[in-house]
Structure 1
Amino acid sequence: MNPKDLIGRFQQMLDQLPLADFSQPARQMLTSRLGQLLQEANLVSREEFEAQTEVLNRTRLRLEELEQRLNALIDHQASCPAAPEDPAAEK
């Protein structure tokens, strides 16, 4: 849920309370303060969190694939006999 939705739900809860319980200035103050707290907390929406989690999972899988390929190349290089040196290169 994004911060605006949370503020909206909070406002709806306040609107359902009898006027004797909260005066309008108190409601405005609470709503305003909740908005400030949400901004200070650097909250992200559930959708943004899930999107970033998906990106992270894909990146992790790609990294694992690249590590496997690198290890296969290293193993292949270690198993190949060393190429004979070119005697013409030494002259």
Structure 2
Amino acid sequence: MDCALGTCAERSAAFQMIKNNETEIKKILTIGRNGYIYPPCGACLEMVKLINPNNRKNKFYISKDKTLNLNELMIRNWQDKEKMEKY
């Protein structure tokens, strides 16, 4: 399965953080069952962004040696109205 239709481990961890009054995340490493490092899915990225604006500075591992921040991983930000075209 390429993505979870329910709640994945990353969102479950974020929910647990919220229960403990924590919302800021420094680094995220997502490893699939096959041992490959994956960036979190769009739903996870969106949740991380929404629970704390400081999370935009997060480091997401895309390999053992390389990280990207949230803005680099998200192709388009639905909240950035200045970069959107009005219909």
User: Does TM, scored on the shorter chain, surpass 0.5?
Assistant: no
The structure with the largest helix share of the pair is 1
State the TM-score, normalized to the length of structure 2.
0.23
User: Highest Rg: 1 or 2?
Assistant: 1
The structure that is strand-richer by fraction is 2
Q: Which has the higher contact order (CA 8 A, sep 6+)?
A: 1
TM-score scaled by structure 1?
0.22
